[in-house]
Structure 1
Amino acid sequence: MLIKALGLLGVGQRIIQRSNLCYKVAPPNSSKLVNNKDWLSPSQTINIFNNLQDPNSALQLLDQISQRKDYTPNQSIYSAVLKHLALAKNFDYIDSLMDKIKFERKCRLSDDFFYDVIKVYGNLGGRINKAIYTLFDMPTYKCWPTIKTFNLVLNLLVSNKQFDVIHVVFMKAPHLGVEIDACCLNIVIKGLCHCAKFDAAFDVLNEFDKHNCRPNVRTFSTIMDGLCEHGRVNEALGFLERMKKEEIETDAITFNILIKGLRKQGKFQEGIEILDMMLLRGCEPNPGTYQEVLYCLLDAKSFVEAKEFTGKMIRKNVKPSFEAYKAMLDGFCKDRNVGNVEWVLKQMVRHRFKPRMGMWKQIVECVVPETDFSSFNHFPCK
């Protein structure tokens, strides 16, 4: 079923100092650094790279140093070179570095090094295909990926919406010696939910046991968020009971997803009631929870209740958003509730929000209904 589910995805001068010596970063044909007779330890070599001013010259410098008889390659040196090339965003030179490492075959690299390489390719360079290739190519360097690096690539695919490739990478897990974990399955579920392939996502959820894994709160939150985004809030609510039955503790994020989903469907009262459900289950609301409940009250045009709830938020050191204050002010102005308009305005100032010109017009119209606003346009708005 998991394989079937995956198929549904669609599948100026640079100075290098050592001791009392001062080296210039030389052009490729220079032999000063190569022929210098002073012993260069690995730590001193790394220090040279750490003090390098031109990151683009890192690979060139490595080529020079590697010709020395005392050169002993290690992961720290390669990592220093990678850091500089990443800083320069010189991905072609990173390709050359990886080829050089493979050709030399003098150093065993750890999974952490390849994790950094993949992260540079994927997150910094947007070269997702190169990130995947690096993962698959790790065994040729005599290094096998951990689940951490494997999941990094899956996350890159989801973040870049390359859902059609997820199954290709996932099916490589056994060949790479990777044992699937809950995080890996959660990423697959996230990809399926993004594609609205919920039946497939449910199949993956039901296969956790086959991989000796147990779904967690993130698993269910991901599915519930996807369902809510597609208007299937009742189904999302149903997963609360399953979580309770399977003794998976819910968190504030889970409830926030449900409140937001109910609010989008205009079920404001049900969204507000979720807060009571949270407290009954012993789940502590976070600032996002209070904000979502406040939005429910505002959308329901329950402005007096919204004011009272805002006071509760303030007592708990939770700062309402500018948008919430704006909506509350708009509601009280339309009701010509001058006292509450004044209260909202004071709270905005207290929280260092600056009312805009349109809001001031509303306030003045509320206080002095017959005001002629034609002259307002002649005032500069700062």
Structure 2
Amino acid sequence: MILRSTKLLNHPIRQSLTHSTLIKNPSCSSSEIPKRLHHKDWLSPNEVVQVFTSLQDPNSVLTALDHYSKRKDYKPNEALYTLLIDKLAQAHLFEAVDDVMDRIKAERNCRLSDDFFRGVMKAYGNVGGRIKKAIQTLYDMPSFGCWPTVKTFNFALHLLVSTKMFDVVHEVYLVAPKLGIEIDACCLNIIIKGLCESGKWDNALKVLDEFPKQKCEPNALTFSTLMHGLCVNGKVDDAFGLLKRMENEGIDPDTITFNILIAGLRKQRRYDEGIKLLEQMKLKGCAPNPASYQEVLYCLLDAQRFAEAKQFMIRMISKRASPSFVSYKTLIQGLCKENMVEDLDWVLRQMIRQGFIPKMGMWKQIIRSVFSKSNHCCVSYEETIDDLIT
């Protein structure tokens, strides 16, 4: 476990006053401090939060906090510390965030929740991109008198996976017992996702064996994550093997599971299998969503079955699923190529009704196809098209 140096803890007030990056004027004139902190009237915790909320300059936060700490009614709480961390983090004053955390540890005058530390980790990781500092905060929580929950632990793992720090994921996972964490299915799912994204498919599959050891049960997300990794790697048949394993273990596949498989089949140009899978998922009691229909539409377009694609698009729209712009563009190009100009009108009208505007190149292709069909070629296509458009 890596902890910050304790040198700063000896004089937290002095450090907050002299931090060069935060205070423009080291002498700290009284004008930097909100007037209400000068009053001798007793301030309630809510009033103190209002005072610090009103601060416009984040650089004055530590100055005001130091002044407040000298008052007899000084009694900071989690709401105040959360506000200070948020203000400083949004201004990217992360050295000041460090100072506030040092002060909290030194004073120990407030009991903080797991939610607070998760917020600090989000500030370091999501706002500041200081991933290592966020993980250090997780390790450091017990020294503040607060033990992390599995929700906060899983946030740390997800942060590492999302920033592709895959090598650190296993290190954090091994620390779980020291932090009093009981591993859950969500944690293992994050581990699987990280292994898949780093290309370690075999190791990801082995994590399935960890579920019973940790007294957890895999769910549809577990298998969908593995299937996605396999399909991306071209191992669609192995992904279907996992589908069979799911069903054998009594785990119902969801819509996302089938969408992943349809996309995997499409990638391997196994279009008919992808199209049939849409019907099979219905028989299994799983309702398709717009993404399901879109994947099947892509299968038909990739297979250059444009007449079928148009009919499927009609069916898709009747299910209140909106085709993508790429779908319309590809279908129009296909209809033009096959000289099926009689179908263009409906596609164009539906495209515009959905809010998509055909671009110049698309219009030229449509007009060229119409002229070719009608055999009116008195002048060159390009000259006629330019005249019509302009």
TM-score by length of 2: 0.88
In the other structure, the counterpart of 1:372 is 380
Distance between the aligned counterparts of 1:202 and 1:376, measured in 2? 61
Which whole-Å deviations, capped at 9, do the CAs of 1:40-70 have from their partners, x for residues lacking one? Answer: 1111101112222223322221111111011
Distance between the aligned counterparts of 1:154 and 1:160, measured in 2? 10
Report if aligned partners of 1:193, 1:226 keep a CA contact under 8 Å in 2.
yes
Distance between the aligned counterparts of 1:253 and 1:73, measured in 2? 47
In the other structure, the counterpart of 1:61 is 64
Q: Describe the shift of the 1:241–1:322 C-alpha distance in structure 2 as closer, same or farther (beyond 3 A).
A: same
Distance between the aligned counterparts of 1:103 and 1:351, measured in 2? 60
Could you tell me which of 273, 276, 291 is aligned with 1:270? 273
The answer to whether structure 1 residue 362 and structure 2 residue 365 are counterparts is yes
Name the amino acid aligned to 1:311: I
Could you tell me which of 216, 219, 240 is aligned with 1:216? 219
Report if aligned partners of 2:125, 2:134 keep a CA contact under 8 Å in 1.
yes
Q: Describe the shift of the 1:112–1:367 C-alpha distance in structure 2 as closer, same or farther (beyond 3 A).
A: same
Could you tell me which of 95, 103, 112 is aligned with 1:109? 112
Report if aligned partners of 1:228, 1:258 keep a CA contact under 8 Å in 2.
yes
Distance between the aligned counterparts of 1:196 and 1:301, measured in 2? 33
CA drift of 1:379 comes to 7.4
In the other structure, the counterpart of 1:177 is 180
The answer to whether structure 1 residue 88 and structure 2 residue 96 are counterparts is no
Could you tell me which of 310, 330, 340 is aligned with 2:343? 340
In the other structure, the counterpart of 1:200 is 203
| Percentage of identical aligned residues | 55
The answer to whether structure 1 residue 227 and structure 2 residue 230 are counterparts is yes
Name the amino acid aligned to 1:124: V
Distance between the aligned counterparts of 2:369 and 2:29, measured in 1? 80
Q: Describe the shift of the 1:381–1:116 C-alpha distance in structure 2 as closer, same or farther (beyond 3 A).
A: farther
In the other structure, the counterpart of 1:7 is none
Tell me the SS of whatever aligns to 2:229.
Answer: helix
Tell me the SS of whatever aligns to 1:318.
Answer: coil
**In the comparison of the two structures, how many residue pairs are matched?**
358
Which whole-Å deviations, capped at 9, do the CAs of 1:209-258 have from their partners, x for residues lacking one? Answer: 11010001110010000000100011001111111111111111111111
Report if aligned partners of 1:193, 1:223 keep a CA contact under 8 Å in 2.
yes
CA drift of 1:74 comes to 1.1
Distance between the aligned counterparts of 1:378 and 1:188, measured in 2? 57
Could you tell me which of 260, 285, 289 is aligned with 1:286? 289
Tell me the SS of whatever aligns to 2:188.
Answer: helix
Distance between the aligned counterparts of 2:386 and 2:52, measured in 1? 61
Once structures 1 and 2 are overlaid, which stretch shifts more, 61-70 or 217-226? Answer: 61-70
Once structures 1 and 2 are overlaid, which stretch shifts more, 329-338 or 33-42? Answer: 33-42
Distance between the aligned counterparts of 2:120 and 2:238, measured in 1? 41
TM-score by length of 1: 0.89
Name the amino acid aligned to 1:54: D
CA drift of 1:278 comes to 0.6
Report if aligned partners of 1:75, 1:107 keep a CA contact under 8 Å in 2.
yes
Q: Describe the shift of the 1:288–1:269 C-alpha distance in structure 2 as closer, same or farther (beyond 3 A).
A: same
The answer to whether structure 1 residue 327 and structure 2 residue 327 are counterparts is no
Could you tell me which of 171, 192, 195 is aligned with 1:189? 192
Distance between the aligned counterparts of 2:211 and 2:369, measured in 1? 59
In the other structure, the counterpart of 1:76 is 79
CA drift of 1:148 comes to 0.7
Name the amino acid aligned to 2:166: F
